[in-house]
Amino acid sequence: MSLVTTIAFKDSNGSSVQFALMTPAVTPWFSSLEGAGANNPAFRIYFTDDNGVINDFETYYVNLTALNNDGNETQFVKEYSFKEVYGITGTINVEAMDGIVDRLKNDTEFFQKYIEYNSVLWDPKLPEGRFRDAQLCSIEFADYPRYYACMGHHGSSAYSHRILAPIVLIFSFFRILW
């Protein structure tokens, strides 16, 4: 999901009403922030129908480690097809994304796959503790009040999640802008 980051937008009853897909960055980002990682450069191609409904998308990336070892040629290679990786058989819609979010919360192996694609295969490490909570809460809640409530539900201290939330969100937005 190259952070494919996905963000759910929920109504006041907690039902998802929309989602946003964040495209990975062509410019790699390396961070020394605790809990934040790096990413390989990537871009995404969306496949839509005539009405703009997203049928699938594919992400392509450059493996910087390989490029640095043999810098003769930069080559983007296919990282993944969203529908293939996440097992979506219909259109990519709110219901499909809700199913992915539920699996991310309950299936560690599935969450690991998400983290691998989120970093565009750059040395992915499974976040634990408050960093895992921050990832999951930021996917599910785009607004600070519900994000903080989610972090509090997971037992993260008020201090740590008030600092971590902007870091996670800034990281996500850097991935969009760069």
- Supply the pLDDT for residue 44: 93
Strand order in the sheet with 42-48: 42-48, 54-61, 77-81
pLDDT digits (tens, 9 = 90+) for 105-125: 899 999 888 888 877 767 666
For residues 49 and 30, what is the distance between their CA atoms, to the nearest angstrom?
A: 36
Distances from the Cα of 130 to the Cα of 138, 151, 158, angstroms? 12, 8, 11
Greatest Cα-to-Cα distance within the chain, rounded to the nearest angstrom: 54
What's the pLDDT at 3?
40
Specify the residue for token string 């640095």. 68
**In angstroms, rounded to a whole number, what is the distance separating the alpha carbons of residues 4 and 139?**
10
pTM value is 0.73
In this prediction, residue 122 carries a pLDDT of 72
Looking at the DSSP bridge assignments, the partners of residue 46 are 57
Q: Looking at per-residue confidence, does 164 or 114 come out higher?
A: 114
CB atoms within 10 A of CB 111: 19
